[in-house]
Amino acid sequence: MEILSFRLFPIVLLLLIFSHKYAIADKKHQQTKGTYIIHMDKSNMPASFDDHLNWYDSSLKSVSGAAEMLYTYKYVVDGFSTRLTAQEAELLEKQPGILSVIPEVRYELHTTRTPEFLGLGKRDALFPTSIKLSEVIVGVVDTGVWPELKSFDDTGLGPIPSGWKGLCETGKNFNSSSCNRKLIGARFFSKGYEAAFGPIDEKTESKSPRDDDGHGTHTSTTAAGSAVPGASLFGYASGTARGMATQARVATYKVCWLGGCFSSDIAAAVDKAIEDGVNILSLSIGGGLSDYYRDIVAIGAFKATALGILVSCSAGNGGPSPESLTNVAPWITTVGAGTLDRDFPDYVSLGNGKKYTGVSLYKGKPLSDSLVPIVYARNVSDSSSGNLCTTGSLIPTKVSGKIVICDRGGNPRVEKGIVVKEAGGIGMILANSEYYGEELVADSHALPAAAVGQKSGDAIKNYVSSNPNPVATIAVGGTQLGVQPSPVVAAFSSRGPNPVTPKLLKPDIVAPGVNILAGWTGAVGPTGLLTDTRHVPFNIISGTSMSCPHVSGLAALLKAAHSGWSPATIKSALMTTAYRTYKSGEIIQDVATGQPATPFDYGAGHVDPVAALDPGLVYDATVEDYLGFLCALNYSSFQIKGTTSSDFTCDSRKNYRVEDFNYPSFAVPLETASGKKGGSGASATVKYTRTLTNVGTPATYKVSLSSQTPAVKILVQPETLSFSKLNEKKSYTVTFASSSMPSGTTSFAHLEWSDGKRIVGSPIAFSWI
Ligand SMILES: *[C@@H]1O[C@H](CO)[C@@H](O)[C@H](O)[C@H]1NC(C)=O
Ligand SMILES: *[C@@H]1O[C@H](CO)[C@@H](O)[C@H](O)[C@H]1NC(C)=O
Ligand SMILES: *[C@@H]1O[C@H](CO)[C@@H](O)[C@H](O)[C@H]1NC(C)=O
């Protein structure tokens, strides 16, 4: 969670106020109330009610006379949200006609160069015309928008698509002229937030779609911002900034406030976005991870998908720890993060003549060439977390006039620079721990600074500890293009296996998410810290929050090119055409380990939009397939209704299996034979079935396999599939016969169908449990 952690600063402050307020409330009422989302079984509404709202109200009043509904929902669930005590919630859940009572979950927020890096710029001719693209609407659920940016210029865009039902809601610093033909909708949802925190203080944030944070402006301009020539942050990353789908329309749904994002507000936003008529939904937020029937993002995304809306979500910033994913439902496109071929290098020189390369976006007076004393923060602090340069932890007399080495982790990276500066330091080296490996994230620090990888950091610390008078300086670099290898998987990008459904591989794909330039709010400086008074129209930040809107925008391009494609088809096209090797043939690296990455890191691979336009074959999935998937998880009819709002009973004669769910990738958990340690012995055989749909020209596809492990024999039947018509379907089975391996072993393979022109690739991940 470190990547966007400058945001934690205001959150921590608000949390203190929050608990204080609750302490008072507790004394008054004895019992704390929380927000709950009530999912009503609308198809079983008692006949005595002719209006569902009366029914909702009467159910609510039966447990709590005074409770009011915060929101009523129509699409995400049939139901409402309200404030209840835990006791009232329990009572309500037991009543007839109630599917579930889900407690509020708090969520957190998890480019000039990217279009060229993704092969968009020079191959524009392949992409849909602007007229088709301008029919596509990308809804972004986030912190709102800064509408005055050039990225929202609507020059050249025709009338708003005729089916659009959205609104430009007005409020503080936001009126109807804030929207135009580019930003066609803007709404805000604060009832859940205000129920928890009390009324929004309009002195510090706008109760309107206005973005006081920057995150939502960044994500929406990444997805579909208009092209702006001459963009940069302090001269870094200069060039034309543009979203992935420059002519698509943007609708913003503000749900995240300075104190966080709440699920009752998120549900209301997704509900409205569906009603308004968006085609793509982009959610760069993550929070609770639970079974799908209690996960409001999964529930909302199901409804959206069923109505033809592709939902793209960030995978989370919990990497490189395994099983750190969020947003893992099979109908969601789950996006991890990789780097670009662009860097912002600067150079550390030590008194012993050695030089190390770091990164920074510092803009200001550079250090002189002459060497100055350098100290390690741990040794100039009385605090146990002094090595992290936490607020007030450095002793000014020991820091003044020196360069300070701070360790990465704990507090926000940009805050460390401010802590050093306030203690009188004149430069900072931000050193990675083993956890972050060699991953370098550039920030616009308040003083000359260099973020260095673990190896360089250790070498610099060695020099400092072994020399009686260590000295150093930091020289400013600039923007470097063509950095290799690229992409590499970001250390922070959340990793599989999938903690909810191990037989479903997640993440689905990776896209650029490190050091991304896109639009920014005018309300705070580029670091997001209250002390940063600089104003910038563009900012460079990192996170799976940044990779998600790349995929949202690319999905808009595919939707424009192929208006009939279902969300599952679009996702399949993106996945089966993703690449997982460099031109040299070597597998994409994981920057956290310096080793080749695996499908648990990158899913199907790195997105390749040009190839995705013509995938040849796709793994489609219908609502019935998703229902069958839930049957395979042994969900009861009640739980299925809680997830999908549909009345569906699994057919007791059918053998539903997750193995047969038509997904573009394969996750194969294998049993470890008890008592056997590795190698030979018990073998197990599992069979997976898939169905391919032809979305290209008639062709014959042949299968090929590559595998890292002799421990699993893989058999595909048939080995050839011929398609003579558009939308023709053909099935195949894959049989995995495995020997026992020690528990915890993982290995990988890759399956490809090719007609000689197109490659339809799927990753296979084995894990012995
Ligand atoms: C609101 O509308 C007026 C014009 O009617 C305009 O001048 C003003 O800048 C608008 N924007 C905001 C954010 O108030
Ligand atoms: C920090 O102080 C300890 C104890 O005096 C010393 O052993 C170590 O070398 C110092 N480290 C650095 C990097 O200066
Ligand atoms: C569902 O139940 C069946 C039969 O009891 C069992 O074999 C299977 O493993 C269960 N599936 C899951 C995903 O729990």
Query: What is the C-alpha separation between 673 and 742, in angstroms, rounded?
Result: 9
Phi first, then psi, for residue 26 (nearest 5°) are -60, -45
Residues lining ligand 3, judged by CB closer than 6 Å? Answer: 633-634
Share of residues in the chain with pLDDT > 70 (%): 93
What is the band of 682 on the pLDDT scale with cuts at 50, 70, 90?
A: low
What is the pLDDT at residue 750? Answer: 98
The yes-or-no verdict on residue 8 having pLDDT over 60 is no
Between CA 115 and CA 295 the distance in angstroms is 33
How many Å apart are CA 513 and CA 549, to the nearest integer? 9
Q: How many CA atoms lie within 13 A of 518 on its CB side?
A: 36
Torsion sign over Cα 562, 565, 571, 574 = negative
User: pLDDT tens, 405-442?
Assistant: 999 988 889 999 999 999 999 999 999 998 888 888 89
Tell me the pLDDT tens digit for each residue of 532-570.
888 899 999 899 999 999 999 999 999 999 999 999 999
For residues 528 and 213, the answer to whether their CB atoms sit within 8 Å is yes
Question: Does residue 115 contact residue 121 with C-beta atoms inside 8 Å?
Answer: yes
Other CB atoms within 10 A of residue 17 CB:
12
| C-beta atoms surrounding 164 within 10 Å | 17
Domains of the chain: 23-104 (3.30.70.80), 108-336+487-562 (3.40.50.200), 345-478 (3.50.30.30), 616-621+662-768 (2.60.40.2310)
With 0-12 / 13-18 / 19 or more C-beta atoms within 10 angstroms meaning exposed / middle / buried, residue 260 is buried
Rounded Cα distance, 598 and 587, in Å: 8
The number of residues making up the chain comes to 769
The pair of structure tokens assigned to 721 is 């599939």
Mean pLDDT of all residues in 442-449? 92
Pocket test for ligand 1, best of 148, 152, 177, 521 (most atoms within 8 A of CB): 177
- Residue appearing with tokens 């379907």: 729
For the cut 50, the answer to whether the pLDDT of residue 15 exceeds it is no
Residue nearest to atom 10 of ligand 2 (CA): 465
Instruction: Tell me whether residue 215 is one of the annotated catalytic residues.
Output: yes
- How many Å lie between the centroid of ligand 1 and the Cα of residue 191? 25
Lowest-confidence segment of 293-302, 534-543, 743-752 by average pLDDT: 534-543
pLDDT for res 78: 96
Residue type, 169: E
Q: What's the mean pLDDT in 730-735?
A: 98
Does the beta carbon of 465 lie inside 6 Å of ligand 2?
Answer: yes
The DSSP code for 508 is: -
User: Does 755 qualify as catalytic in the annotation?
Assistant: no
Nearest C-alpha neighbor of 361 from the set 201, 183, 539: 539
The reply to whether the predicted model has a pTM over 0.75 is yes
The reported pLDDT for the residue numbered 436 is 84
User: What ligand is nearest to the CA atom of residue 406?
Assistant: 2
Provide mean pLDDT across the span 609-620.
Answer: 97
From ligand 1's centre to the CA of 147, what distance in Å?
Answer: 11
Query: What is 424-485 written as a DSSP string?
Result: T--EEEEE--GGGTT-------SSSEEEE-HHHHHHHHHHHHH-SS-EEEEE----EES-SS
Task: Name the closest ligand to CA 179.
Answer: 1
pLDDT in tens, 449-486: 999 999 999 999 999 999 999 999 999 888 988 888 89
Segments in 94-245 forming alpha helices (H): 114-117, 130-133, 191-197, 215-224
Neighbouring residues of 12: CB distance < 8 A, sequence distance ≥ 6: none
Using 50, 70 and 90 to split pLDDT, how confident is the model at 130?
confident
Backbone dihedral angles phi then psi of residue 688, each to the nearest 5 degrees: -115, 145
Residue tagged active-site, from 110, 215, 550, 606: 215
pLDDT at 738 over 90: yes
Question: What's the confidence (pLDDT) of residue 295?
Answer: 94
Per-residue pLDDT tens for 60-114? 999 998 899 999 999 999 999 999 999 999 999 999 999 999 999 999 887 444 5
User: Hey, whose CA ends up nearest to atom 6 of ligand 1?
Assistant: 177
CA 462 to ligand 2: nearest atom: 13
- CA 265, 313, 730, 617 torsion-angle sign: positive
